[in-house]
Homo-oligomer: A and B are copies of this chain.
Amino acid sequence: MPGGPLTIAGRAYGSRLIVGTGKYPSFEVMRAAHEASGAEMVTVAVRRVDLTRRSGESLLDHIDTRRITLLPNTAGCHSAEEAIRTARLGREAGLSALVKLEVIGDETTLFPDTEALLHATRALVKEGFTVLPYTSDDLVVARKLRDAGAAAIMPLGAPIGSGLGIRNLVNLRLLREAITDLPIIVDAGVGTASDAAVAMEMGCDAVLMNTAIAGAGDPAAMAAAMRKAVEAGRLAFEAGRIPRRLHASASSPPEGLI
């Protein structure tokens, strides 16, 4: 789907970079990073209010929600049921039907439980949610998620927070071939700017990341890097790269040498 903005569930977004709100050293740093990223959508987690040690500050005080769409997640949920409950609470808190649906199947890798994810997707779509499921790079699962009504496919590139980049370009390419009618948003694994560019060059529609920015030495600078990298990758995808060849091809003409 070359050209034009990212469209999720009928709504257009000017930026193809979606960023998180976790793990920043401070709200000020987060706000600066958000600004530099150009993102129009940020993920947020849903957690119990701490009744005892309530700080005066709230996350939402530091997000310009006129410009930025909130994307509540179900991070930390290990069953379809927990994820569904959390999604419902997120909708009530954010007054929006978007949800980044995570059902975690393993603590060490935070890999999704795709079977439970599928169940939760079906249930939440029925309740009117716009479901953006965090999934593996398995195209068979992706097709089922699409058939279940997911609004995008969000495959992981590598374990969340690992910074390992896209570990399986073959699977991502095959996924893109198989899913042409929904946005593909690489979610998790990006470590540095080129990782984001690679994802976009494969024809993905957007990239979602948290740790790569929040954990960088200078989060705002890394956010600016990611913004440019996503734009660069998209442009390169649309421009059409040169073919790879083993041998050289001279850039200067062979004729007219002295």
Partner of A110, one of B45, B109, B170, B250: B250
The tally of residues in A whose CB lies under 8 Å from a CB in B reads 103
Q: Is A236 an interface residue (CB 8 A)?
A: yes
This chain's copy number in the assembly: 4
Q: Is A215 an interface residue (CB 8 A)?
A: yes
Encoded as 1 (CB less than 8 Å from any B CB) or 0, chain A from 240 to 258 comes to 1111111111111111111
Within 8 A of B (CB), among A201-217: 201, 210-212, 214-217
Partner of A193, one of B45, B108, B118, B233: B233
Within 8 A of B (CB), among A58-80: 73, 75-77
Contact B241 A216 (CB under 8 A): yes
Q: Which residues of A contact B (CB under 8 A)?
A: 20, 22-23, 43, 45-48, 50, 73, 75-77, 82, 85-86, 89, 105-106, 108-115, 118, 136, 138-141, 143-144, 158-164, 167-171, 173-174, 177-178, 191-194, 196-198, 201, 210-212, 214-219, 221-222, 224-229, 231-236, 238-258
Q: A48-B258, A159-B246 are in contact. List 7 more A-B contacts (CB 8 A).
A: A43-B251, A76-B250, A160-B248, A192-B242, A218-B238, A219-B239, A221-B238
A-B contact pairs, 25 of them (CB 8 A): A45-B252, A48-B258, A76-B250, A89-B258, A109-B247, A159-B248, A159-B249, A160-B251, A161-B242, A161-B248, A162-B245, A163-B243, A163-B244, A167-B168, A167-B170, A192-B241, A193-B197, A194-B197, A194-B201, A197-B229, A225-B233, A226-B236, A228-B231, A228-B235, A229-B236
